[in-house]
């Protein structure tokens, strides 16, 4: 095989071939009996309905970075993939399909509908897995799981029964969040609250004994008035002290309701008197339990008014009823006034329908006992968040947790393992379907119609995917897992519940570390969404820029969990870097071609002795970079690790070392010197590719395979590439502290600043980059002069100097431009580079124009009329402009003086 890479990097010709190569080598799979300390990540399972979005791309790139890094460190790494059955979302998708066929799920019946969902999952459920492979994810695909798999379903049933037997699951009639569109209950965490510009309707409730008197109540939901069973006031509110215990007439319906006193009422809100609707408000429900009030359901599961709301409103949509009722109240003289009012309204997280508080029988998990264990685990340091600031967010939710409503009124999901006897009305909670009622012996028990919240099965993900409750080698070897990588918006949906379940059933936290990454926003700072049409498709970006460019760009943009403002142009950085790596590697590989007979071969000791200043510098910088990148990854600072690899490869290896090495690689160079630089280049490339691999796996693997070919042909320094069949399996670099030389690095930094100063003077004076120049260096002391003298050849080559004069305190030459590096003066001789007379004339014109502009603005800023009438920002802008012009004038005047 030729050791030459193609002239340019074409990811579309590389990525599929490399991924197939990894799969053929079985690089992603592991077994419990393999050596190495275990390192496990379970993927946050994307919804089976999902397609890859930028959030997925960032999340899975981060996971892949840590898995690839630890794999190269020799760990027994398992990255366990899978998908979530996504109850409500998946059912909605299939119901939409049925709607196109003119059908509803009830037309099919439960059994046929569930079969239809399974059919959909078999046909479309693997899309996102294929897309993750396009991104380069090195998951153990042989272990891919689905939350409705038989083993995972068994774990769900076991968990429900165990929690029920421990008194942690119960059934009760409570106010729950109900979505009339999805026709199911939602947990508090599945409700998205949004500020809404609504109204307060002030309504008069007349007294039974004297209808001419009334109590005015304010509400944001007048249609629920029809379900009122009391009006409540604060017991300390003197305005109503004498009225508590009296009876009011419910407007329109005429039902008699009492005035009660309850501490919950805020006397500062509106009139201080509030309506109590126990069946349609969670707080009112609690008041009703304290005061033994009736609950009247006036809105049904479809969001329509019931008969209890009155015949004139029965069947109306709740919002249609609102308009009709308000008009009726107005006509009856019972609507006092309407005021604008901004308040928060809950919406379904799936379909965005306004949530209806609804009184129904539901299954709940008693959360407080579980939360206390999770809180203690965090305070004990058994679970750590990165960045640490998310710990407080997590603990706050746990400390204020409410019982979790886990039943859902849909058909797709894990059915509640509860059975009801038709004869004795007994309830049986069982792992297997009972044939007979254990209480009365009757047959034909009916199973609960509800399914469990999707998050119930997701909470078991680290346990169930590894074989719990049956146990086995995988569970023993890989649990607890190592790190969870996730977004902040599911800390309480998922992270907290996994910790609870892990502690409850394994007495161990499911992971020691939680890495929270930011949210990807558009360039205006808005969340990406279908409705806004501002999403960026990661697959389209992969096709346009390559997977490595997408990965590298995303990682370098995300820092310490901060949100990312993303635009397509941001991926150009990753593409440019990929091209830089490819081109530098191509140059290196071309330099490593065997020189045939007569090639100089040096032993290790000879090579080490023959290394030049720049050879030793790049090896020292490599050592520091290896140490820094490894340290960043150990502290979950992937963005910083990526940036360090970028800086080393581009700014140190390419910008400085390769430029310095080109002379020794030329055909006319000394053969021994050529052998040394080839050995250093091969070693640095090998180690750099290893460092870069977790971030840009396709690109680095393709190059490394060519480096293996060079090694097989005897290229000096490339032997390390023979250590593994693939870069993905190669050893992670270790810092060789014997090669670190901080004093040498300080010298190089000084020399680099001199080169930068010369380049800046070139640009400032309009001297071409390739035009040789003459420079004088005035050093402050003998030690500095000695460093300059020792490395004059380096300066000549890199800065393209035809003449260098250096010494301690030498005078600056006439007609030269000057700069200062520390306490060393750098003089660029201008004579012969530019036509001095013409340049003086040009600069004098610039000086006069600049001085004129300054005078004009200064007069304007002294004008009282201007100062009185101009906006403050205009005055500030002009003030800043005059300072900028003064600085320009100073530089032009200085340049003129240099030409005298």
Length of the chain: 900
Contact in structure between 374 and 500 (CB atoms under 8 Å): yes
> Which backbone phi and psi does 513 adopt, to 5 degrees?
-130, 140
Q: What DSSP element (H or E) covers 548?
A: helix 547-557
Contacts of 128 (CB under 8 A, 6+ apart): 46, 48, 50, 51, 52, 56, 83
Contact in structure between 263 and 235 (CB atoms under 8 Å): yes
Identify the DSSP state of 775: E
pLDDT, one tens digit per residue, over 671-704 is 888 889 999 999 999 999 999 999 999 999 999 9
**Cα 659 from Cα 663, distance rounded (Å):** 8
Predicted TM-score (pTM) of the model is: 0.84
pLDDT score at 686: 96
Alpha carbon distances (Å) from 702 to 69, 140, 706: 18, 21, 7
Confidence of residue 601 (pLDDT cuts 50, 70, 90): low
Least confident of 223-237, 715-729, 735-749: 715-729
| Higher-confidence position of 592 and 698 | 698
User: Has residue 176 got a pLDDT over 90?
Assistant: no
pLDDT score at 229: 94
User: Has residue 446 got a pLDDT over 80?
Assistant: yes
Query: Cβ of 273: how many Cβ atoms within 10 Å?
Result: 23
User: Has residue 599 got a pLDDT over 70?
Assistant: no
Task: Select, from the ranges 114-128, 204-218, 428-442, 630-644, the one with the highest average predicted confidence (pLDDT).
Answer: 630-644
pLDDT score at 32: 97
User: Has residue 636 got a pLDDT over 60?
Assistant: yes
pLDDT score at 22: 98
pLDDT over 90 percentage in the chain: 64
User: Has residue 595 got a pLDDT over 60?
Assistant: no
User: Has residue 738 got a pLDDT over 50?
Assistant: yes
pLDDT score at 120: 92
Contact in structure between 359 and 296 (CB atoms under 8 Å): no
Least confident of 253-262, 614-623, 708-717: 708-717
User: Has residue 2 got a pLDDT over 50?
Assistant: no
User: Has residue 317 got a pLDDT over 50?
Assistant: yes
Q: Kindly report the average pLDDT of the chain as a whole number.
A: 91
> How much is the average pLDDT of 112-120?
94
Confidence of residue 392 (pLDDT cuts 50, 70, 90): very high
> How much is the average pLDDT of 386-401?
92
pLDDT score at 667: 78
Identify the DSSP state of 152: H
Contact in structure between 230 and 258 (CB atoms under 8 Å): yes
> How much is the average pLDDT of 138-150?
96
Contacts of 111 (CB under 8 A, 6+ apart): none
Least confident of 105-109, 149-153, 348-352: 348-352
Least confident of 160-164, 600-604, 741-745: 600-604
pLDDT score at 820: 83
pLDDT score at 373: 96
**Cα 782 from Cα 385, distance rounded (Å):** 53
pLDDT, one tens digit per residue, over 85-109 is 998 889 888 988 998 999 988 899 9
User: Has residue 68 got a pLDDT over 90?
Assistant: yes
User: Has residue 892 got a pLDDT over 80?
Assistant: no
> How much is the average pLDDT of 739-752?
95
pLDDT score at 191: 82
Identify the DSSP state of 208: S
24-30-36 Cα angle (round to 5)? 130
pLDDT over 70 percentage in the chain: 98
User: Has residue 1 got a pLDDT over 60?
Assistant: no
User: Has residue 79 got a pLDDT over 90?
Assistant: yes
Alpha carbon distances (Å) from 76 to 34, 263, 509, 541: 7, 59, 20, 32
pLDDT, one tens digit per residue, over 272-291 is 999 999 999 888 988 888 89
**Cα 391 from Cα 402, distance rounded (Å):** 19
Least confident of 538-542, 716-720, 764-768, 777-781: 716-720
242-249 LR contacts (CB < 8 Å, sep 24+): 243/215, 246/207, 246/208, 246/209, 247/207, 247/208, 247/209, 248/205, 248/206, 248/207, 248/208, 248/214, 248/215, 249/205, 249/206, 249/207, 249/208, 249/211
> How much is the average pLDDT of 257-282?
91
Least confident of 260-269, 361-370, 587-596: 587-596
User: Has residue 795 got a pLDDT over 90?
Assistant: yes
């Amino acid at each position: 095989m030729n050791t030459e890479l193609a002239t340019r990097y074409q990811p579309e010709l590389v990525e599929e071939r490399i991924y197939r190569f990894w799969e053929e080598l079985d690089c992603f799979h592991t077994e419990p009996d393999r050596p190495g300390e275990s390192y496990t990540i379970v993927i946050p399972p994307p919804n089976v309905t999902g397609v890859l979005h930028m959030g997925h791309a960032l999340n899975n790139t981060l996971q892949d970075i840590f898995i690839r890094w630890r794999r190269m460190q020799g760990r027994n790494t398992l990255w366990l993939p899978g998908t979530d059955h996504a109850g409500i979302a998946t059912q909605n998708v299939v119901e939409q399909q049925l709607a196109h066929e003119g059908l509803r799920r009830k037309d099919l019946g439960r059994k046929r509908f569930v079969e239809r969902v399974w059919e959909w999952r078999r046909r479309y459920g693997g899309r996102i897995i294929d897309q993750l492979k396009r991104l380069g994810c090195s998951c153990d695909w042989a272990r891919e799981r689905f939350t409705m798999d038989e083993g995972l379903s068994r774990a769900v049933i076991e968990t429900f029964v165990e929690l029920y037997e421990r008194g942690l699951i119960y059934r009760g009639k409570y106010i729950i969040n109900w979505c009339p569109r999805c026709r199911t209950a939602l947990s508090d965490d599945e409700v998205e609250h949004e500020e809404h510009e609504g109204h307060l309707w002030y309504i008069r409730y007349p007294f039974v004994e004297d209808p001419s008197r009334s109590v005015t109540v304010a509400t944001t939901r007048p249609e629920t008035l029809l379900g009122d069973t009391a009006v409540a006031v604060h017991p300390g509110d003197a305005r109503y002290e004498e009225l508590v215990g009296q009876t009011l007439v419910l407007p329109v319906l005429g039902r008699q309701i009492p005035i009660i006193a309850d501490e919950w009422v805020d006397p500062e809100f509106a009139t201080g008197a509030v309506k109590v609707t126990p069946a349609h408000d969670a707080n009112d429900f609690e008041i009703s339990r304290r005061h033994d009030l009736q609950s009247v359901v006036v809105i049904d599961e479809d969001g329509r008014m019931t008969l209890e709301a009155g015949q004139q409103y029965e069947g109306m949509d709740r919002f249609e009823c609102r308009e009709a009722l308000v008009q009726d109240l107005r006509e009856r003289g019972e609507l006092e006034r309407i005021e604008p009012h901004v308040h928060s309204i809950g919406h379904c997280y799936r379909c965005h329908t306004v949530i209806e508080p609804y009184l129904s029988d539901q299954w709940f998990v008693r959360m407080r006992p579980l939360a206390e264990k999770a809180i203690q685990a965090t305070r004990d340091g058994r679970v750590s968040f990165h960045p640490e600031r998310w710990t407080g967010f997590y603990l706050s939710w746990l400390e204020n947790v409410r019982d979790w409503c886990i039943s859902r009124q849909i058909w797709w999901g894990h059915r509640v393992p509860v059975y009801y006897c038709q004869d004795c009305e007994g309830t049986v909670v069982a792992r297997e379907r009972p044939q007979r009622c254990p209480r009365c012996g009757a047959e034909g028990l009916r199973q609960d119609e509800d399914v469990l919240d999707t998050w119930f099965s997701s909470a078991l993900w680290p346990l169930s995917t590894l074989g719990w409750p049956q146990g086995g080698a995988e569970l023993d070897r890989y649990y607890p897992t190592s790190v969870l990588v996730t977004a902040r918006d599911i800390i309480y949906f998922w992270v907290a519940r996994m910790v609870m379940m892990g502690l409850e059933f394994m007495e161990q936290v499911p992971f020691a570390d939680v890495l929270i990454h930011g949210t990807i926003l558009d360039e205006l700072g808005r969340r990406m969404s279908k409705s806004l049409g501002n999403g960026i498709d990661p697959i389209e970006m992969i096709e346009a820029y390559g997977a490595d460019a997408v990965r590298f760009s995303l990682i370098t943009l995300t820092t310490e969990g901060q949100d990312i403002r993303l635009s397509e142009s941001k991926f150009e950085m990753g593409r440019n870097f990929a091209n830089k790596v490819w081109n530098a590697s191509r140059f290196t590989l071309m330099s490593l071609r065997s020189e045939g007979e007569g090639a100089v071969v040096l032993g290790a000791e000879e090579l080490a002795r023959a290394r030049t200043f720049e050879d030793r510098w790049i090896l020292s910088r490599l050592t520091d970079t290896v140490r820094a990148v490894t340290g960043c990854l150990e502290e979950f600072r992937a963005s910083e690790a990526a940036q360090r690899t970028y800086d080393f490869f581009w700014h140190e290896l390419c910008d400085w070392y390769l430029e310095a090495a080109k002379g020794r690689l030329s055909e006319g160079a000394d053969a021994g010197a050529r052998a040394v630089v080839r050995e250093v280049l091969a070693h640095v490339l090998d180690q750099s590719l290893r460092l870069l691999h977790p971030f840009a796996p396709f690109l680095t693997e393709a190059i490394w395979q060519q480096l293996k070919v060079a090694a097989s042909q005897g290229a000096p320094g490339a032997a390390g590439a023979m250590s593994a069949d693939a870069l993905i399996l190669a050893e992670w670099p270790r810092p060789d502290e014997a090669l670190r030389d901080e004093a040498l690095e300080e010298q190089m930094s000084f020399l680099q600043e001199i080169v930068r100063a010369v380049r800046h003077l070139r640009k400032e004076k309009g001297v071409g980059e390739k035009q040789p120049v003459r420079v004088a260096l005035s050093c402050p002391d003998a030690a500095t002069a000695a460093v300059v003298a020792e490395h004059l050849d380096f300066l000549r080559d890199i800065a393209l100097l035809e003449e260098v004069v250096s010494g301690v305190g030498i005078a600056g030459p006439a007609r030269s431009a000057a700069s200062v590096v520390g306490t060393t003066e750098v003089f660029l001789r201008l004579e012969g580079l530019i036509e001095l007379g013409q340049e003086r004339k040009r600069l004098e014109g610039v000086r006069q124009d600049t001085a004129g502009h300054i005078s004009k603005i200064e007069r304007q800023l002294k004008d009282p009329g201007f100062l009185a009438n101009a906006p403050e920002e205009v005055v500030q802008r002009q003030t800043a402009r005059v300072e900028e012009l003064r600085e320009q004038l100073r530089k032009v005047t200085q340049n003129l003086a240099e030409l005298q």
